[in-house]
Structure formats: structure tokens, C-alpha cells
Amino acid sequence: MLTAENIRALKGTGKKVSMITAYDFAFAQMAEAAGVDQILVGDSLANTMLGYKSTREIGMTEMLIFVAAVCRGAPNTHVVADMPYRSDKDPQTAYDNAKRFMDLGAASVKLEGTPAGVIEYLRSKDIPVCAHLGLLPQTAENFKQKGKTEEEARAIEDAAKFVDSLGCFETVLEHIPEELGKKITGEVKSVTIGIGGGKFTDGHVLVMHDALGMHQKKLPPFATKFVDMYSLGVEGFRKYVESVKNEA
């Protein structure tokens, strides 16, 4: 399993880092079998697995169940546990929750933005932290690209340098201009993981349901569908129904 230190050491080697979301035992097994570098148990499970409209509608109760399942399914893969909305509201709360994830087998935690004192405190307790900048779904008013104005771009760049200085081993850059992703990647020591961050980031992450074509919704502009699992699943269910109906 790649540790946080192993992942950070990939910076500048030319070896891209692969990350995919997964939320349960079975798909974690598949991701590990495919050789993915990291599995993110994202709070996006609120939308993809539980049908909620916002990631703000779930908390630690739900996240702990899914993180545990993924850790059981992919024991040899670096599992990143997403800190749900308000679970990192202050340093002590963040540590208490992060430790619960680590005790389940997570290798690191991810948090959005730069909550005051939280990253510093987690790092002082030797908990590896993955930062998340750019579009921040937990607090975003809309899902338009961030960093298009000079002011926004500078704020994201400054935040990236800040979390890097605090010891984050990697930073997710979501839905920002490619040139901004390139600039930040060249300025920080940590690994940059793009999800709509352009081709110059050190690695990429996608939501499993987008990558595997598990729905019929319009994909985000930065997502790629590699297989059509929705159609395969419907066809499989249809064949099962037909076999039952036609049973002698």
C-alpha cells in the first residue's frame, strides 16, 4: 500500500497518481484489483449512493459505515476518508472524527478549504491530510468553474501554497482552469490531484459513478465515461426477470 509519504515522493517523477471514489466492499475490491493508487470514500456518496441532493445531508454516521466497508474491500490500497460537512468545524472535533476514520483503516483524511487551525492540529497528531481547493461542494452556491477571475485564481493559489506549507501530502484541485492547475502544480511540493484541474496536475480523481457510466445524467464537463455499466446492469436485470417469468 502506498503511504502518504510514498505518494508525496511521486512528485516530479513523471508518474501520474490515480484516484477513484468507491463506497462499498465490492467496488473497493474491483478498484484494488485494477491497481488504482488511492480510493477516496467521498462525501459524494450522499448523491451517488443515498440519493440526497447535497453532500451536506450526511455526517459521520454514514461516512463511518462506508469507509469501513471500503477498507475491508481494499486492505492493500491507500484509502482517503472524506471529512463530511461540519465534521472539521474546530481542531478537536476534526481530530476526534479523523481518528475514527484512521482506526477503521483509512490511510488519510480529506477536508475542504482551509478551516482555521484544523490542518495544523491534525498534522501535529500525525494524521496525513489531503487538502481540497477550487470548487468546494460542501459550501458552494453553484458548481461553476472557480478561479476564472484574477482575484479568485490568486486566492486558490495562495491557499494551495498555505496547505502545502502545513504539510498536506496532496491537494485535490476541483474545476479550475488548466493553466491555474499547471501553475499550482509547479509551485507546491505536495502532489496535486485534479478533478477538472487540467492535464498538468500530478494525478487525477473521478467519481466512480461517472467513470463507470452508472447513471444517465449529464456528466460534469471534466468527467469521462469509460464503460456503460448502467446499460449492462439494466440488461442483466432484464434477463433475470425474463428467466423468472419464463421458468417452466
220/223 Cα distance (integer angstroms): 5
Q: Which of 141, 152, 174, 178 is catalytic?
A: 174
* Of 144, 24, 40, nearest in space to 72 by CA: 24
CB 17, CB 88: distance < 8 Å: no
Query: Can you give the three-state secondary structure of 212-225, one letter per residue?
Result: CCCCCCCCCCCCCC
Q: Is 151 a catalytic residue?
A: no
Pairing mode, if any, of strands 191-195 and 78-82?
Answer: unpaired
Phi-psi region of 87 (alpha: psi -120 to 50; beta: other; left: phi over 0): alpha
Number of other residues whose CB lies within 10 A of the CB of residue 3: 13
Of 7, 26, 6, which Cα lies nearest the Cα of 17?
Answer: 7
Angle at 112 between CA 10 and CA 222, to 5 degrees: 70
Rounded Cα distance between 62 and 68, Å, is 10
Q: Which residue stretches of 49-188 are H helix?
A: 60-73, 91-104, 118-124, 150-165, 178-187
Active-site residue list = 174
